[in-house]
Amino acid sequence: MINSLPFLHVAIAALIALSGSGNSAANHPVLTATDRADVRCSAAFAIVAGQQQRGEGTTWPALGWRGREFMVRTGARLIDAGWTEPQVSAAMTEAAGGLQQEAIASGDADRKLAQVMRPCLSLLDTAVPPLQKPNLPQCAAILRASYEEVHAAEGLSARAKDLLTLATVLEARTRREATEQGRTQAEADAVLAAEATTVAKVAALPGGMQRYDIATCFDLAKPEEKTHY
């Protein structure tokens, strides 16, 4: 469990953008039990999301978008109750620091984080919808769109090549699946085009592609047994 402040700052910046100038009242209400739980969970999500950005914390659901959305909604509710943006920022930063200190004092940081995360995930599932699990053609569209974005920014970099390979594999598997179901290649191409449109609409929403469980796509693109690509 290390510094979660960068993730916190991103979420708080989004909150300020949504709330405008905010409430400038000098005083703010005392945190209710619900407020305390939501602020503490926001801090826990920031810690885990920070780990996941470094390739750690994979035992937990992806929290990049959902954790940030939970934090933004919690902060917006506090602002509506009379808090200012700096007060919200301070409360969440203090909560994250408190959790980290508790973890250190416990002698088992992972176990302590797990104790906090279990009830927090229940709150998260109630407040923010779980990630959408994409099907095969949707994954093909997601990785094709990801390739095009990376290619536009980096050219044919190693990352772009990897994404292109994965997208091509999933497109081929989508067409093969359609053939096995008695459909034509043209019908398979129509399915891919329709899913590309759907994915583009989701990408335009807050959170964009992070609304999808992208790990599903990488699983679907894994080499099949006794085959190579």
User: Does one domain contain both 11 and 73?
Assistant: yes
d(CA 94, CA 48): 16
Q: Are residues 90 and 159 in the same domain?
A: no
Query: Confidence class of residue 172 from pLDDT cuts 50, 70 and 90?
Result: very high
Q: Average pLDDT of 30-38?
A: 86
Structural domain contains residue 228? no
115 in the same domain as 21: yes
Are residues 69 and 10 located together in one domain of the fold? yes
Residue 207 lies in a domain: yes
Number of separate domains in the chain: 2
**Boundary (domain end) residue, out of 127, 145, 163:** 127
pLDDT in tens, 60-85: 888 888 888 898 889 888 988 888 88
Are residue 188 and residue 97 in the same domain, yes or no?
no
Asked if residues 131 and 213 have their Cβ atoms less than 8 Å apart, the reply is yes
Residue 180 belongs to some domain of the structure: yes
**Confidence (pLDDT) at 19:** 40
Asked, for residue 150, whether it belongs to a domain, the answer is yes
Structural domain span for residue 83:
5-127
26 in a domain, yes or no?
Answer: yes
pLDDT band, very low/low/confident/very high, at 171 (cuts 50, 70, 90): very high
Q: What is the DSSP string of 53-106?
A: HTT--TTSPP-HHHHHHHHHHHHHHHHHTT--HHHHHHHHHHHHHHHHHHHHHH
**Does residue 25 surpass a pLDDT of 50?**
no
**What is the predicted pLDDT for the residue at 29?**
60
Q: Is residue 202 part of a domain?
A: yes
User: What is the pLDDT at residue 162?
Assistant: 92
pLDDT of residue 131: 82
Last residue of a domain, one of 101, 127, 153: 127
C-alpha to C-alpha distance for 173 and 106, rounded to whole angstroms: 49
In a domain, 38, yes or no: yes
Residues sharing a CB contact under 8 Å with residue 177, sequence separation 6 or more, in sequence order:
136, 188
Residue 226, in any domain of the structure: no
CB 211 within 8 A of CB 65: yes
**In the predicted model, what is the mean pLDDT of residues 5-26?**
44
95 and 185, same domain (yes or no): no
Q: Mark which of 76, 103, 127 sits at the end of a domain.
A: 127
Reported as a pLDDT band with limits 50, 70 and 90, residue 129 is: confident
Task: Report pLDDT for 18.
Answer: 38
9, 68: one domain: yes
Q: Ranked by mean pLDDT, which of 16-30, 104-118, 161-175 comes out on top?
A: 161-175
